Amino acid sequence: MKDKQQNDYFFMDVLAFMKKNGRILFIALVVSFVATYLFTRFVVSPKYESQAIIYPANFIPVSDESPTEQAVQMLNAGDIRNKVIDSFNLVEHYNLGEKYSITWLNELYNKHVTIEPTLYSSIIISVVDNDPELAANMANAIVELLNVKMLANKREKFAEWTTIYKKKYETKKARIQNLQKELTQLRVSKGVLNFEEQSAALITNINSLELKLQKAKERIEFFKSNSVVGRKDSIARYEIVERNAGSRLVELKPVFDSMLLVGDKIAGIQNMVELELESLADYKAEYEQALLNEEREITYSYEITKAGVSDQPAYPKKLFTSVLTSLSLTFALALALILLQLKNEIAKRA
């Protein structure tokens, strides 16, 4: 019952306060609303926002960083920021004058440009400016600068790999050339220009001489064992054949043995050349792939949304700002009137 009476008294006090000050509060509400609206409309420069949304592509994972985290770091890097500042002459656009602070310039840039990842691993690049066309161009330029920077970095890295593979390829090629030169010198110095043909001819000659020697020995033995007409002459003739065949065999067999040794060396070098040629083909393929990677045009972002020129200002929100400001001022005025009324009542009681 007591609480109800207190509520009734409170309600009556509110009615009395509103009856006394309601007109003032209403006028303050309307005036502050209109004033704020006019101020935001005609005095405050409108800000236009343009957004580009991209998805990172062709990023190589580094440590535990995702491609999105890498791309955000690249987009926030100082070199991209400085290129945007220079390209769009932001020092003049922000009216900083000749003696400006780099720190202040960077703070203004960060105030107008925000780069944030989304929950879906894409990246939003937002640019706010009083020039809607400039805002859109800046957002799109930042995306393009990401591609340019990443492509330059990757080409630098690919150039390093190209140098490495080129050196490996040229070293292998030089080794093969040295082996081929050694093979040619060996053949010329030993007179073995075609081992297969020359060795086959030697074997044929040796076999023929051995056969002739064997036949001569058999005939000499025959004539020595049998008394026939012309026996001495036949023995003498076959002995000459035996001596000639034997001496020729004595000459050819060392030549053949030497040729076999040379043939082994030639075969060994030829095998090494063949193995080196196989690996040379692999090195050449690696080198050509590195050259292809170095020259290839690669994009490092999929453009989900390209920044467009906004026709509606993002800031200030005139209606929202006017309502919030007018309500805040009216509340402050009401509070001041209440405090003034309490002060007066205390003074009367005193």
* Interatomic CA distance for residues 248 and 290, integer angstroms: 61
- What stretch of H or E contains 50? strand 48-56
User: Both 205 and 138 in a single domain?
Assistant: no
User: Both 202 and 272 in a single domain?
Assistant: yes
Tell me if 350 is assigned to some domain: no
Q: Which two tokens stand for residue 300?
A: 């490092």
* Interatomic CA distance for residues 258 and 264, integer angstroms: 10
Highest-pLDDT range among 30-34, 177-181, 250-254: 177-181
Task: Please report the pLDDT score of residue 83 as a whole number.
Answer: 94
User: Both 172 and 254 in a single domain?
Assistant: yes
Encoded amino acid at 110, one letter: N
Highest-pLDDT range among 22-31, 92-101, 158-167: 158-167
**Does pLDDT of 24 surpass 80?**
no
User: Both 134 and 189 in a single domain?
Assistant: no
Task: Please report the pLDDT score of residue 155 as a whole number.
Answer: 84
Task: Please report the pLDDT score of residue 248 as a whole number.
Answer: 79
- Across the range 91-117, mean pLDDT stands at 87
The answer to whether the pTM exceeds 0.85 is no
User: Both 143 and 181 in a single domain?
Assistant: no
**Does pLDDT of 206 surpass 80?**
no
Tell me if 6 is assigned to some domain: no
Domain boundary among 277, 295, 313: 295
User: Both 126 and 142 in a single domain?
Assistant: yes
* Interatomic CA distance for residues 254 and 261, integer angstroms: 11
* Interatomic CA distance for residues 328 and 334, integer angstroms: 10
Q: Compute the half-sphere exposure of residue 233: CA atoms within 13 Å on the CB side of its CA.
A: 3
Collapsing DSSP to helix, strand or coil, 53 comes out as strand
User: Both 106 and 93 in a single domain?
Assistant: yes
- For residue 88, with 0-12 CB atoms within 10 Å meaning exposed, 13-18 middle and 19 or more buried, which class applies? middle
* Interatomic CA distance for residues 246 and 241, integer angstroms: 8
* Domain, as residue range, for 153: 48-160+298-305
CATH assignment at residue 188: 1.10.287.620
Distances (CA, A) of 135 to 114, 128, 218, 317: 12, 6, 113, 18
* Cα-Cα end-to-end distance for the chain: 31
User: Both 103 and 115 in a single domain?
Assistant: yes
* Interatomic CA distance for residues 285 and 282, integer angstroms: 5
User: Both 213 and 264 in a single domain?
Assistant: yes
**Residue closest to 330 by CA, chosen among 37, 38, 22:** 22
